Structure 1
Amino acid sequence: MTLFPEIRLVPFSRLTQGSRWRAEAMRSYSAPQLLWITKGQGRITVAGVTRGYGAHNAIFIPAHTMHGFEMTGQVFGTAVTFSGIRDLDLPDTPHHLRIRDGQVQVEISQLLDGIERELSGKRPGSRRAIRHYSGLVSVWLERQIAVADDVTTAPESARRLAAGYAALVEKGFRGGKSVSDYAADLGVTPTHLTRICNQTCGRTALDLLSERKISEARRLLADTRAPIKEIASALGYASPAYFTRAFHARTGRTPKDFRKAD
C-alpha cells in the first residue's frame, strides 16, 4: 500500500519496468502527469501530436490523454503523477515546454526534490507539506506556460483535429470502430483525417488506432492471465486469429510468444 497515494514520483529509469514498450506504447492514465526531462532526447506523441524532446523540457499530460514516447537508457528525468490532490488548478490541455532559464530549471528540480524528501522521510506533517509542494509545482507550471517556449509547430487547426481524434480513440479503442467511423464522428473524411495525423505525428490515423489497441493488448498479456481469445474480444477484434495477425504485424511476435517472453 502506498503511504501517499495522492502523488507519485517515478524516475525514468523505472518507467519501463524492464520493457521499453511500457513507455513507448500508446496509453493513458487516469491522473494528470508532468514529465520533467533533465538529460537526453527523443520524440514524444501526446494527443496525436509528435514533438522532439530534450533536456530541460517539461511536458504536461492531462488525465485520459493518449501518449507514448521514445526512451533510451540515456534519457533521465522524473514522471510526476497527481492522483488525488485537490485544487491544484492543473491545465486541461497538454503542454510541451522548453525551459531555457537556468534558475527556473533549478526551481522545479528543488520542488520535486522537496516532494521526494517528504515521500521518503515519513515526518510529521508530510502529507500537508506534499500538498503545498504540489501546489507550488502547479504554480510553476502555470507561469511557464505563460512565458516559456512551446515546441509545437503544427497549425492550431491540425492540432485540434488530431487531439479530437486521439481523444475519441482513447474512449473507444476497445470497440470495433474503424477510422471511417471516427472520421464521421469528427465531421471529416478518412483521407483528410489521415493527412492531418501524418502532419501532426508522422503516423496515419489507422496507425494511431492500431498502436493504441496493440498497446493495451501488450498490457493485458503481460499483466493478466486473461485468455488470448478474451483479450481479442475485449479489444474489438473479429476473431482470435485476426488479433494474432494484427499483433504479429505490429510486434513481430504472436500474443502467445509475447506472453512467454515478457
Structure 2
Amino acid sequence: MLKSPEVAVPVFKLYGETAAWPTPDLIHCESIPERSRLHGWEIRPHRHGDLVQLLYVQAGRAELEVEGHVHCVERPSLQLIPAMSVHGFRFSQDIRGYVLSMALPLVEQLSGTLDSQVTRMPICYALGDEVRHLDALFESISQEYGRQAPGRDLMLQSLISVLLVSVNRRWLAVSSARESTQDRGREHIAAFARLLEMHFREHWTIERYAEAIGISAAHLNALCRRLAGQSALRMINQRLVLEAKRCLVYTVMTVNQVSDSLGFSEPAYFSRFFKREVGVSPKVFRIQR
C-alpha cells in the first residue's frame, strides 16, 4: 500500500505542478507513462482541488490507491478520482493508458443529466467488452486534444460526454447488482428465520438450513454476519435460549422437561448449554426471575 506522508497532502493542478493550469482548456489529456516516467513510475499521494480524473489502464500493472482503498490492477481497468480525493499510484514500466483530467465545472455541466453521485465517488472496475470502445474513445480524445482543429472544444466535450455516460451506466449497473444482491440476501435471511422458527427444536445443522434455502453454509453464515450482525449458529442458539427462558419463567415445567421439549438428548447437556449462553444455570435463572 502506498503510504501517505505525515505532512499535509499537497494539492496540485496536475501532479508535480503548482503553477496555473497549463492550457486554456478545461481538460488535460496525457498518457500514463508521460508523467509517471518523470517520477520513477510512482505518483505519491496528493489531491486536486477542482479536478475530476479518469485513469484508464490499458496494459501493464498498476497499484491504485484512492482514499485509502487500494486496487491492484493487471488487466484493462478504469479508475475515477473525484475532486479533493487523496490518491496515489504506482506503475510498472510497461504501463499503457491515459489520464484524463477535467475541470470540475465542466464535469458538472456535462454530467448534469446523469446521476449526480457518479463523479463524486471513487470508482474502479475491470473492463470486459468495453475495452475496444474505451480504447477508441480515449484515443480520439487524445488525438483531438493534441491538435487545433475547427470545432475542437465541441468535439472534446462530445467525446467526454460519451465517456461519462459510459461510466455512469457502469456505475448504475454495479449499484443495481449490489442492491439486487442485498435484496436476495435479505430474502435468504427471512427464509432462515422462518425455518429456524419451525425446526429449532430439531437442532438442524447450519448445513441443513442452508440446503433448505438453496445456498451454501458459508454463504448463509456470511449473510447472517452482514445482515443480522451475528453468525448463523449464534442465531440458532439464541432461539433455543429464548424458548428455554420462556419455559422457565412462564411454565412450571421442570428443567428436565424443558430440556426434552427443546430436543436436547440429556438434561445435563441442556444445563451446560444454557449456562454457557446465559451465564447461570437454568435453576438459578428461574430463581432469579
TM-score (structure 2 length as normaliser): 0.47
Structure 1 residue 42: deviation in Å? 3.1
CA contact (8 A) 1:15 1:22 kept: no
CA contact (8 A) 1:4 1:127 kept: no
Structure 1 residue 2: deviation in Å? 4.7
Q: Which amino acid aligns with 1:105?
A: V
Change (3 A) 1:50 1:106: same
Percent identical = 17
Query: Are 1:98 and 2:126 counterparts?
Result: yes
5 Å-filtered alignment, 1:123-138, equals 123-138=149-164
CA contact (8 A) 1:99 1:148 kept: no
Q: Which amino acid aligns with 2:141?
A: I
2:135 to 100, 105, 109: 109
1:59 to 79, 98, 101: 79
Structure 1 residue 32: deviation in Å? 0.5
Structure 1 residue 10: deviation in Å? 1.3
* CA offset digits 1:172-229 (Å, max 9, x no partner): xxxxxxxxxxxxxxxxxxxxxxxxxxxxxxxxxxxxxxxxxxxxxxxxxxxxxxxxxx
SS at match of 1:26: strand
Match of 1:26 in 2: 45
Match of 2:90 in 1: 70
SS at match of 1:44: strand
- The higher relative CO (CA closer than 8 Å, separation ≥ 6) is in 1
Distance 2:22 2:46 in 1: 23
Q: Which amino acid aligns with 1:107?
A: H
RMSD after superposition: 2.1
5 Å-filtered alignment, 1:223-238, equals none
Q: Which amino acid aligns with 1:18?
A: L
1:5 to 2, 25, 33: 25
Distance 1:44 1:120 in 2: 26
Change (3 A) 1:21 1:38: closer
CA contact (8 A) 2:60 2:75 kept: yes
